[in-house]
Amino acid sequence: MNIQSLTLNNGIQMPELGYGVFRVEEGPELAKAVKAAIQMGYRSIDTASIYGNEKSVGDGIRQAIEEGLVSREELFVTSKVWNDGLSFDETVAAYEESLVKMGLDYLDLYLIHWPGKDKYQESWKALEALYKESRVKAIGVSNFQVHHLQSLLKDAEVKPVINQIEFHPKLTQKEVREYCLEQNIQVEAWSPLMNGDLLKNETIQGIAKAHNKSAAQVVLRWDLQHGVITIPKSMNETRMRENISLYDFTLTGEQMDQLDALNENTRSGPDPDEFDFKM
């Protein structure tokens, strides 16, 4: 399976479809799933320090490389710094800790996980330093609203390549996406299937039936046709294969509009302006 890639604003290529591991426990089953994903054709793997599973993700990557399934250069690996330490030094230390846990020499993309209230400016300076030292291929943010991005860009020397946000038909985030498009910041979707809650929606099921596809495939195809990178999560190999099989059908303009019309501004995760980071 050849997944198409998009060019980020610093010129590097990122697969438009990746494998997410949010809420997957550390352990050999995750390492096995990551290796299986790579074997199926996934090349982008997304994790975060707060997920507590970077070691298993790294184990799966290393096993795939050792077995000759892929080279490190063919993979696009993302992790994120958590909000318990967003000073310059803490951010650099967090990046180094992620590398150690994953057993990697570099990450392809490193993100500030949440904006929080007022610390992301200093953390961004740390990410810029890592980028300028060529220790990471690209840097970006996650869960940033328009006002967060505007504040960041006032002093930023390096523009974020990515804003990873909750995005699905119930939460289309049009304002954020339009601003990112204006600024040439790529949008990436987390929770694209709204933790599975969308899969029983009658409109989505009707469109899926028309294409002889699953509800999940319809939603993920909707992501791609909106130009949004998507990272579905599954530990089930049948669904993993299903989630990657999105290139043999296209949603019509009317179907895209029908899915857009499902928007209720409903979040399955926290509101970036209200999230309490005390863990």
Average pLDDT, the chain: 95
Query: Which three-class secondary structure state does DSSP give residue 251?
Result: coil
The tokens for 160 are 């974020």
**Per-residue pLDDT reduced to its tens digit, 193-228:** 998 899 999 999 999 999 999 999 999 999 999 999
The full set of domain ranges for the chain reads: 13-195+222-247
From residue 232, alpha-carbon distances to 160, 207, 219, 251 in Å are 22, 19, 10, 19
The residue among 159, 82, 163, 164 whose CA lies nearest residue 123 is: 82
Please say if 51 is a catalytic residue: yes
List residues bridging with 20 in a β-sheet. Answer: 46
CA distance 29 to 35: 10
* Of the candidates 143, 156, 174, 157, the residue with the CA atom closest to the CA atom of residue 50: 143
Query: Which residue among 19, 42, 51, 179 is the active-site one?
Result: 51
Query: In sequence order, what are the beta bridge partners of 46?
Result: 20, 78
The three-class DSSP label of residue 189 is: strand
pLDDT per residue, tens digit, the chain (279 aa), is 689 999 999 999 999 999 999 888 899 999 999 999 999 999 999 999 999 999 999 999 999 999 999 999 999 999 999 988 889 999 999 999 999 999 999 999 999 999 987 789 999 999 999 999 999 999 999 999 999 999 999 999 999 999 999 999 999 999 999 999 999 999 999 999 998 899 999 999 999 999 999 999 999 999 999 999 999 999 999 999 999 999 999 999 999 999 999 999 999 989 998 876 653
- What tens digit of pLDDT does each residue of 67-103 get? 999 999 999 999 999 988 889 999 999 999 999 999 9
Report yes or no: 232 and 32 within 8 Å, Cβ to Cβ.
Answer: no
* CA 264 – CA 199 distance, rounded (Å): 16
pLDDT score at 160: 98
Pull the structure tokens for residue 41.
């054709």
CATH, range 13-195+222-247: 3.20.20.100
